[in-house]
Amino acid sequence: MKKTTLAIGIIAVLGIAYVGTAWYTGNMIENHIDNQLAQITNKFNQSQDDFVVSVIKSNYEKHIFSTKLHLTVTASLQNATGEDAQPETLFDDDVTIHHGPFPVAALAKGTFAPQMAWLEYEMAEQANPTLWKLAGNQPFITGHAGISYGEYITVKLASKAIKATQNEIPVIDGAFEIGKGNYTISSYTSGSDISTKVEIDKISLTYPISLRANPVSIVINKFVMDQKNVLNNATNTVDGSFFSRVDSIIFGQQNLGNGSLDFDFKGLDKQLFSNQLGMDYPDSGDTNKKHNIQFSLNKFNWHNAAGDLNANLKFDISDVDSSAIDKADYEKINSLKLKLEAPFDVLAHLSAQIENANASEVTPEQVAKAKQNLQFMSAFLVGNAKFLTLSNDKTQGIYSDVSLTKDSNEVSVNGKTMTKEEFFDHL
């Protein structure tokens, strides 16, 4: 009996503590929400000069485990007059915020880390009746946002697949289709250290019906993007990475192929990112700051029926103002490695496909004509760029193989050597 009484007592204490924490969190949200909304609005308005955004909160109802409110977001053109000055409503819906530390809604989504606040959202029919109908009389967008006690916010959204023409959305001059999508954005509430992930099954656009007898469609299948920017407070620089790929691009009836892009960087001046997505990186006031910049194009690849286009680049330079690099900074380059492989057969096949988008396939004659045009134009390009060549001893195309290090005055360029001075004079 005593053990049972003790267990009940412990459960009661934990329950009271949880309710108290949830109520305290609700009070924190209530005390800071106006300031947070004002900060978000100011950051967006400062990040661009085209629109003025306004966020209005109303019908605020705080309960023990959740808070319900109505948000209205409008945007109007800067310096607009007449009808253009009337604000457009971007969002006008109820929002429910679940209080931490362990909101049931968050646990249901598989998030077990403590959360100060958790927001669930489903686009209501009245918010956008057109999108509601196109999504099959369902919410077009659903999602949630979680804010940790360390003020790190994660927003995850999912969108339904829809198809639309000018009849449903007048601004479309043709037809538009977007497949299911998933979008994740994470950052600190200050706007620093932003991570973005996007996955869209399909994007299709047929255009422009009003201007062409034979409209052309472009379809992007399985678009993926993963981007990160991390602020380094010690050096006042930003490190980041970017990756993107598509499974295929269909232009008209032509499958142009698939591709990927992967690069990362270190040491870029934070002011270059001050306007990105509302990032607020205040200037340190040191106009003489110098940085070590590293950039790596880990992989660029495009593959089609004729072969592959590939490019790689590694670049490392020290003690420079990263907002601008001029000829005086060339001696500060620690290393430079470039590899470019663009066979004419691959480029010509791609060019012929774009030129004959609505044909079922391209003919050898069409590819040969495109190749001839590319060879003619490339002769002028390579003549003015000594680091490029029109052959890799096996196939014709546009190629480059460059290697440079700080401890040598010679640069290896396509199997030959030249001085750094000669190399940079011909860039």
The CA distance from 124 to 75, in Å, is: 20
| 85, two tokens | 């000055």
> What is the DSSP code (8-state) at residue 82?
G
pLDDT: which is higher, 345 or 275? 345
The CA distance from 80 to 90, in Å, is: 18
| 423 φ, ψ (degrees, to nearest 5) | -65, -50
Mean pLDDT of the chain: 81
- Residue 167 identity (one-letter amino acid): N
- pLDDT on residue 237: 85
Q: What would the pLDDT profile of 162-220 be if each residue is shown by its tens digit? A: 998 888 888 777 888 999 999 998 888 776 788 999 999 999 998 776 655 677 889 99
The CA distance from 41 to 125, in Å, is: 25
Q: What would the pLDDT profile of 58-107 be if each residue is shown by its tens digit? A: 887 877 777 787 888 887 877 766 666 677 777 787 778 877 677 777 77
Q: SS in 3 state form for 383-426?
A: HCCCCCEEECCCCEEEEEEEEEECCCCEEEECCEEEEHHHHHHC
The percentage of residues in the chain with a pLDDT greater than 90, rounded to a whole number, is 37
- pLDDT on residue 187: 85
Q: What would the pLDDT profile of 276-305 be if each residue is shown by its tens digit? A: 444 444 454 455 567 789 999 999 999 999
- pLDDT on residue 94: 79
Using alpha carbons, select from 385, 378, 382, 389 the residue that is nearest to residue 415.
389
The model's confidence at residue 50, banded by pLDDT at 50, 70 and 90, is confident
- pLDDT on residue 207: 77
Range name among 7-16, 39-48, 219-228 with the lowest pLDDT average: 7-16
Bridge partners of residue 339, in order along the sequence: 312, 401
The answer on pLDDT for 360 being more than 50 is yes
The answer on pLDDT for 51 being more than 80 is no
Q: How many other CB atoms sit within 10 Å of the CB of residue 358?
A: 12
Are the CB atoms for 128 and 93 separated by under 8 Å? no
Helix residue ranges, H only, 48-125 = 104-108
Helix (H) or strand (E) holding 28: helix 2-47
The model's confidence at residue 353, banded by pLDDT at 50, 70 and 90, is very high
| 150, two tokens | 């360390």
Highest mean pLDDT (candidates 116-120, 325-329, 365-369): 365-369
